[in-house]
């Protein structure tokens, strides 16, 4: 931990060397939120988000906040290790080409719905969002999405090849987030929580029918996002097996989500921990901290630090907004940086600079700042990347 800010109702505990003013303002709003519990934890990758900083951890009593979960509910990262060590550039390019053919990117989705057996079970969900969006969700299963979502082929310190995927619940999570945030705003207006509405922290009481419905649909989105990553991984494995003659053995699947809320015990109370752009890092728990395009990623083991609500960062974290990166970064320099590393990358033109490494914090600094949150057990270097 780098610093504790004690000027607000609750302390703000920082794992970052610096925090930009808008992010700090959002952290202070959380510290003064009427149902916030014990303290606010801000991870080393923190930056401004809707209502709550991305890279923030909030424990709350009695309430759930849609914008403290985020709009891409259940977004996360998964990784698995292969038994192969050698992969030539031409083979790698063929694999990447096949991946692009079978996994829709950006706003694209499948023309037909995927096997419904791969979808999470609906159980007792009411007809609010999930059931209405079911057909669209089936077509979105096994798709990457856009923004900072990626597929990356990597090599570990022993030379083994890995697959890593970062994606979420696609449009389904957005629909659920927006639907329940509007309900929260309407309810908060009736009960005098205008300040929380202005701060984009409208909330639902957990024991209300609206709160229970949100929790059910949020959980479905978390499960859907995991199913999405699993299907993408299975199809990437097929692209590998098509282009590599030797038999490939694959390790167990590592998965970690970073946009969700969950009831957990902390500091003697049952609270709903909102992790927005932060991941669980319970003692001994395997996790993943990806870097930016062209930088290292890390397989980690949680240390169970109580002060962070047993959490850690979800990645490097932005230092520039998307439009700012496109405006300020030098295209040739960003391409040369990746070319010199030998990475098959996704930067082709000016518009791709929103996901250039120059738009992100230094992942090594981020990892150094959370040495008390996680232990690094493997470093992964990028070989090739596909961006959404």
> What is the rounded CA–CA span in Å between residue 108 and residue 340?
31
Q: Is the pLDDT of residue 223 over 90?
A: yes
Exposure string of 357-380, with b = 16+ CB inside 10 Å and e = fewer, is bbbbbebeebbebbeebbeeebeb
How far from the centroid of its chain's Cα atoms is residue 370's Cα? 17
Bin 309: left if φ > 0, else alpha if -120 < ψ < 50, else beta: left
Confidence at residue 79, expressed as pLDDT on a 0 to 100 scale: 98
pLDDT band for position 388 (50/70/90)? Answer: confident
Q: What percent of the chain has pLDDT over 70?
A: 100
Q: How far apart are CA 206 and CA 223, in angstroms?
A: 20
CATH superfamily name and code, 3-319+360-387: tRNA-splicing ligase RtcB (3.90.1860.10)
| DSSP conformation class of 250 | B
Distances (CA, A) of 154 to 78, 163, 191, 380: 13, 6, 51, 6
| 125 pLDDT above the threshold of 80 | no
**361 in Cβ contact with 45 (< 8 Å):** yes
- Is residue 159 within 8 Å of residue 41, measured between CB atoms? no
pLDDT grade, residue 124 (50/70/90)? Answer: confident
- Two structure tokens written together for 160: 């083994």
Residue-wise pLDDT for 93-115, tens only, equals 999 999 999 999 999 999 999 99
- pTM for the structure as a whole: 0.96
Quickly state the pLDDT bin for 208 (edges 50, 70, 90): very high
Active-site residue, selected from the candidate residues 38, 258, 274, 314: 314
Calculate the CA dihedral of residues 243, 247, 249, 253 and round it to 10 degrees: 30
- Report pLDDT for 128: 87
| End-to-end alpha carbon distance in the chain | 34
For the chain, give every domain's residue range. Answer: 3-319+360-387
Chain mean position to CA 263: 19
Pick from 225, 205, 224: nearest CA to 215 = 205
pLDDT per residue over 233-272, tens digit each? 999 999 999 999 899 999 999 999 999 999 999 999 999 9
- The encoded tokens of residue 32 equal 């003064």
Beta carbons of 39 and 10 less than 8 angstroms apart: yes
3-state secondary structure 131-146: CCCHHHHHHHCCCCCC
CA 188 to CA 210: how far, in whole Å?
A: 12
Backbone angles phi, psi at 248, to 5 degrees: -110, 125
For range 60-89, the mean pLDDT: 96
pLDDT score for 58 = 98
Packed helices 209-243 and 89-102: angle between N→C axes, nearest 10 degrees: 140
**pLDDT value at position 126?**
75
**If you average pLDDT over every residue of the chain, what do you get?**
95
% of the chain exceeding 90 in pLDDT:
91
pLDDT, tens only, 133-174: 999 999 999 999 998 999 999 999 999 999 999 999 999 999
Length of the chain: 388
Name the residue with higher pLDDT: 235 or 294. 235
Query: What's the confidence (pLDDT) of residue 333?
Result: 93
pLDDT of residue 122: 84
CA distance 18 to 133: 41
**Is 149 noted as a catalytic residue in this protein?**
no
pLDDT bucket at 225, cuts 50 / 70 / 90: very high
């Amino acid at each position: 931990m780098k610093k504790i800010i004690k000027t607000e109702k609750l302390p703000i505990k920082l794992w970052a060397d610096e925090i930009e003013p808008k992010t700090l303002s959002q952290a202070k709003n959380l510290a003064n939120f009427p149902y916030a519990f014990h303290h606010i934890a801000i991870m080393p990758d923190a930056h401004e988000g809707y209502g709550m900083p991305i890279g923030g951890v909030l424990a709350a009593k009695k309430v759930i906040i849609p914008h403290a979960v985020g709009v891409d509910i259940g977004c996360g990262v998964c990784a698995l290790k292969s038994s192969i060590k050698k992969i030539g550039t031409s083979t790698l390019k063929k694999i990447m080409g096949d991946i692009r053919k079978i996994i829709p990117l950006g706003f694209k989705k499948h023309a037909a719905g995927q096997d419904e057996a791969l979808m999470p079970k609906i159980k007792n969900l009411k007809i609010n969002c999930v059931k209405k969006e079911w057909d669209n969700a089936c077509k979105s299963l096994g798709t990457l999405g856009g923004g900072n979502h990626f597929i990356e082929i990597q090599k570990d310190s022993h030379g083994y090849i890995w697959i890593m995927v970062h994606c979420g619940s696609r449009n389904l999570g957005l629909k659920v987030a927006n639907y329940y945030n509007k309900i929260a705003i309407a309810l908060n207006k009736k009960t005098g929580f205008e300040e929380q509405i202005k701060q984009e922290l409208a909330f639902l009481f957990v024991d209300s029918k609206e709160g229970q419905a949100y929790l059910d649909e949020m959980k479905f989105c978390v499960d859907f996002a995991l199913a999405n990553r699993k299907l993408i991984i299975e199809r990437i494995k097929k692209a590998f097996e098509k282009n590599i003659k030797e038999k490939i053995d694959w390790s167990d699947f590592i998965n970690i989500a970073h946009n969700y809320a969950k009831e957990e015990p902390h500091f003697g109370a049952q609270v709903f921990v909102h992790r927005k752009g932060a991941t669980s890092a319970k003692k001994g728990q395997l996790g993943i901290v990806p870097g930016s395009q062209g930088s290292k990623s890390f397989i980690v083991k949680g240390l169970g630090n109580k002060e962070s609500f047993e959490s850690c960062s979800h990645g490097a974290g932005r230092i520039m907004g998307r439009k700012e990166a496109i405006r300020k970064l030098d295209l040739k320099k960003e391409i040369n940086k990746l070319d010199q590393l030998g990475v098959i990358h996704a930067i082709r033109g000016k518009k791709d600079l929103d996901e250039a490494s120059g738009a992100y914090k230094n992942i090594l600094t981020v990892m150094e700042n959370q040495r008390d949150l996680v232990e690094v057990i493997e470093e992964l270097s990028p070989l090739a990347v596909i961006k959404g």
